[in-house]
Each structure stands twice: as structure tokens, then as C-alpha cells.
Structure 1
């Protein structure tokens, strides 16, 4: 009797997108300390992994939260620059 696991790398899309989205959002709030590269990179990766996870229909809630937080991490510095930039 063999036991097969159904785990695949695609099952981690939700967890990774959620983690990167939260890191990107925290980085976006602290953009004056960490720079704009950290929230931009983490936000872009979070959105990418969330879209892949939603397409595979695996951990959809985590992917949706990762998509929202990653999108906010991408847009928050843009809004700051548009508001307070010269």
C-alpha cells in the first residue's frame, strides 16, 4: 500500500502571495525607511502568485487577500508620489 500526496508547488501560491503581500504592504507604509524597491518587488510578486493561484483554484481566499495586499503595496507609493510629489 502506497500513500500518495497531492501536494505540489502550486499549493503554495496562496501562502506565498499572502506573505509577500503583507511584507510589501508593510514596506509601502515604511517606504521612507526601506525605499520603493521592496514594496514594488514584493507587491508585484504577490499579485503574480495570487493570479496564478486563482487560475489554479487553490487556496482562493489566501490568493485573494494576497492580490489585494500586493495591489495596495504597488499603488500606495504611487499615490504618495502623486499627492506629495512636486
Structure 2
């Protein structure tokens, strides 16, 4: 493509939806898991933030990417604050 935009059928167009799904999974599992089950929200949240930032950098599905970054960061920060509060 000569106009500098990414093709619409590229695998990179999935960064936004994947980020959103992983962010929601991270937030829900962080809210429902106890002190022991913090590995899943941390991993899913970190992946959501990574994919969301990649989607924002490529300017693809910006709304989904931004929401994925927000929910992913909540999914990462909630268990971290919970551990810091309880220790």
C-alpha cells in the first residue's frame, strides 16, 4: 500500500479485540480471585496492555485498544494493591 495505512486484512487488526478480551478476563478474574489466584489476572492484564499499546501504535481499532489497556491495567493493578494492602 502506498498511502502508508495498514491493510484491513492484516493480523494486526486483531490487536484491539484481543486486548479487550484479555483486559476483561484480567479484570473479572482479579475481582473474583482471592489472595492466592493472582497469576491469571497479572498475565492476562500484561498481555492486554501489550496488545492494546501495539494496536494504539498502529492506529487500528483504537477504541477497543484503549479499553483493553484500561481494563488490562486494572486487572494488573488490583492484585498488586491487594497484596500490598494485605502484607
Q: Same fold (TM over 0.5)?
A: yes
2:48 aligns to what?
46
C-alpha separation in 2, matches of 1:75 and 1:6: 33
C-alpha contact (below 8 Å) 1:20/1:42 kept by paired residues: yes
1:29-58 deviation line (CA, Å, top 9, x unaligned): 012187111101100000000010000000
2:81 aligns to what?
79
C-alpha contact (below 8 Å) 2:16/2:52 kept by paired residues: yes
Q: Which structure 1 residue ranges, 5 or more long, are not aligned?
A: none
2:16 aligns to what?
14
Find the structure with the greater CA-based Rg: 1
C-alpha separation in 1, matches of 2:38 and 2:55: 26
Q: Which runs of 4+ in 1 moved over 3 A?
A: none
CA RMSD of aligned residues (A): 1.6
C-alpha contact (below 8 Å) 1:43/1:73 kept by paired residues: yes
- Secondary structure at the aligned position of 1:57 is classed as coil
Q: Which structure 2 residue ranges, 5 or more long, are not aligned?
A: 1-6
Q: Which structure shows the bigger proportion of residues in helix conformation?
A: 1
C-alpha separation in 2, matches of 1:70 and 1:42: 7
C-alpha separation in 1, matches of 2:45 and 2:52: 10
